[in-house]
Structure 1
Amino acid sequence: MSFWRKAAELGSADAHYNIGLLYARGQGVIRSVPDAVVWYRKAVDIGHAEAQFQLALIYLQGDRPTPLASAAVRWQQAAAEADAKWAADMNALLFPEGTAVEPDHATARHFAEGAALAGHFAAMATFGRMLMHGLGGPRDYEAARHWLEQAAAADITEAQSGLGHLYANGLGVPRDATMAVEWFHKAAEADDIPARIALGTFYLSGVGVPADAEMAASFFIKAAEQKSARAQHSAGLLLLRGEGVEQDVPRAETFLRAAAKQNYLPAIISLAEFYSRGEGIAPNLEEAALWYRKGAEMGDVQCQFIVGRLYARGEGLPKSLQEAAKFFHRAAEQGHDTGAFNYAVFLFKGMGVPQDSAAAAIWYAKAAEADIRVAQVQLGRLYLAGEGVERDTKTAAYWFARAAKAGDPDAETALALLYLNGEGVDANPARAEALLRQAAGRGHPPAYMQLGFLFSNRNSEPADQAETVRWFEAAAAAGQADAEVILGSLYAEGRKLPQDHAASAAWFKRAAEKGHASAQFQLAVLYCTGSGVAVDLAEALTWYEKAAMSGHRLAQYNLAVMLSKGQGAPMDQKTALTWFERAAEQGMLEAQLAAAGMHALGFDGYTPDLEAARSWYSRAAEQGNEAAKENLKRIESMQENIMPSPA
């Protein structure tokens, strides 16, 4: 260092350059690129081309502090917190040139041009590539070609690769894949990574050269072994498929993981898919979720959507509706249409986020505009109900029509009902029938039901009766319990169909077994009356109880009556009272009177409760029942005559 300093004092450009080089490399001094810049600039001032080139490289990439310098920076920050002025003085003393060099493409371009004009071939290549990519100034493909050709003639690999790029993309020259391949081959012979990747791409696609998967794999693998993330990704995919190279799943996984660890997003996505599908290995949803999550955090919209779905299902990640909603929202904000729909569903149902119909409508609208039919139907329903938006039947009809035009049977059915009722559109029964038949033709059970209602409400022409039965039976065959109940009623009443109590009971039983409360009630009545089935009070009691548990108040009342009389089961007055009160709570007058009577009179094991009786008679009286009013007077009189015991 002392030798070079003396030479520098005598005006030696090489000496200035070499001192800069020592600082840049940390040889004999603490590495300090800012100090190197100072000495390189002094060398440039004396006309040193290599110093200009080094400055171009430094300003092109910038330079952050080394670990030692980083420790110094941390010391500086800690000192500044304790005494800002003292720290500033010490900083000026210890680090007069600073601790880092920020990228500055304009300055880099200036020095690269100066070195190139001085005949520095590597600088010509760098300057040419900066012109090509528009770094530090406007793009100039013609000038880029000029400088790259000069450098390439001197066997500068970077220039050969750059010319390949120009010819491959037709930048400032006619597009010429053959010429591009020729230049890339020259650069690849010198182990140039971009050239090897480009050749892999050309040989894989058969552009500029005959397609040759084996050659493509060879170039990708060589570049992958040079730690290029892009090449590792491509090589991994070829090894995974066994394309141009013998299939090798473990090596493919190794390359994909190496690229993913360099935060190369395409590799992260491919690795997630690899673990999700289990290509050549057992699927590993936990590992897949880890990489999908990484891709999502890097902003990939499809990864965000997939992570939302994984959280919603609890696949590979702990089930969390809050996290699912968060990632669906992120995807939706980036324009993911299905993500917008899913987020709307979460908002509408209050899943993982506070329920918000208005916000849900906004996201349903975004998904609907993207022609997601289920979103169009749901948006139409919101406008029809006035939920989250002002009620607007015309807008509802618009969205139903848009989805119906795309063949959505839900939309066809909903639009048909608007035409039947003249809501949002002019009433048009013929159009309604046509829409319902279209939906029915797509196998849509709700359309079968609506067609059944449509024909059942017409005049009792034989053709209409046949259509009524046909469509209700189609709905029943598709598992629609409501249709089974309707058929049970039609057979019982002898309307549209010949009266057939056995058939009626059979239809009611099918619906009852599906948990349909009304059907359970009707079936219980049939077992009590012996209509279509043998009288079986125990079976009747069973079905009344099932319907009662579903909140059917008549079933609750009848169950209470049977229990109070010991019909179908041993007498159970206490349970009977419970069911009377359940029905009474639903406003059933007869149940209120029965509950009041049981409380007033009491029963075996139960002391009369006049206050409870008075409460139920009061509720019955509010419905205008005269008997309840009279009984209420009697009870109130009895309560007045009960004198408190003397102290």
Structure 2
Amino acid sequence: MIKYTFLIALLFSMLLPAQKDTLKSEAFKNSRPKKVSYFQAKYPSYSLLAGYILVNEANRGDPFAQHELGIRYLIGKGFEPDTVKAIYWIRKAADQNLAAAKYNYGILLYNGIGVPWNPFESFYNFKSAAELGMPEAQFALGIMYTDNLVVSRDYSKAYAYIRKAAKAEYEPAKELEEEFRSKGLAPAVDSSIAAEQQKTVEPAPVINTDWDVDYISLENDARVTDEERISNLLKKNKYELRDYLGINAPADSLKDTTAYGMIKYAAENGSPEALLLIAASYEQGLWHKKDLIQAGINYLNAYRFGSYKAGERLFRLIQSESLLESLKNKIKAGDSHAYYFMAGIRALEMTNIITLKDAVDYLNKAAGKNYVPALIELGLLYSTGAVAQKDINKALAFWKTAQKLGSVEAEIRIAFTTLVDSALTTYENNSFEILKKYSDEGSVLAQTYLAYCYEKGISVKEDKATAVKLYRMAARRGNETAYNALKRMYDELRPPDDTFLIYSER
């Protein structure tokens, strides 16, 4: 099943917890390679004498000693941890063209570990190490040619580099090469890359890393039915399912660890993946009694959280004359679900059978009955000034009502609004911790807001690398807002170099 885009997340797991792009993007899920050892010590003893010899050799200019000394300072093996000294020695070795040092320095740059986040300089380091024959670097470079962020997407080059790494028996590359082939993304190998020098390097120390090559499809595989898709999900173990739904919260925070219980929990916390599954269930009558209006509401909510697949399904669903007729009848009967659904599809311009004024009236009627989704939408209207005059206090009042009725989304929106609007004092709370909590519990909205806080240094020290990581996690789940923020961050740093020119696919 064709899914989202390759997104390289080079995470230094010793220091950081292991954590698409356009609608046309593709990438591969569950291609998480095994960890590689962080170094093969030239000086296996940790005695004072060994430390003295290592420092002496590094000072004499031995790149292998410089690199090993940098690694030891980084992870505190034989020396007190010192990131500044670690970076100094790893870079010294990289400047001498040691493949492993260039690769490791690329990882540090990509993740902003001890150095400012710079994926472009990281690219050059990976490229140098790849040309020296290092399969890990070839693999990294291949992925960079798929995400359309550092360099323009080029599947031919991506496959060529991944294939070279696979030929060197690098297991993650072998797995990824097979997925390229199975998805029909294995073009002819670029002759310029195939002809590159195939220099073999001896095994060299590398930082212990986790690779996160993951993706979400915004397109349906027509060969797989909803029933089969849901059945396949139910066969996953609880850890795989948690990962799919974006849940990073501790297992003991889940009261119901059945597959449906986890999906329901994630949906309540704003997981577009979970909302999409529930919508499909209502549409097909799988877990729930068939109900096209409930299906539509869940597709609508999944779309609001960035699932373009949900938007496509919603548009297809409302082509049904019987659904629209049922919707009109329920509106006449004063049904809040119907009010909200009709207002939603009108706001998205998927129907013009009512005016925007009617849509706002419907939301007000539903909100008058304490219908939570309508309260949230009215809050959004006032917070953006899209229809009504902008009024943050009115927006917060609507969201506060929804929060009292148990809405997680409302709580998240209140938290973020109070963080970014310094003029607000009425709703002071532990807003940053709220965003962290719900980001871990599967809310793509909280994840994106949290990324923005790290990017701009709101209630936390500015950390571009962490912001990128969080935006990437949300974008991987199909959130267009997060992808656009991610692209903006790359563009703000992009060097004036034709190498990094991105060709638009939109």
Task: Please indicate, yes or no, whether the TM-score normalized by the shorter chain is above 0.5.
Answer: no
State the structure with bigger RCO (CA 8 A, min sep 6), 1 or 2.
2
TM-score normalized with structure 1 length: 0.32
TM-score by length of 2: 0.39
More helix by share: 1
Bigger-Rg structure (1/2)? 1
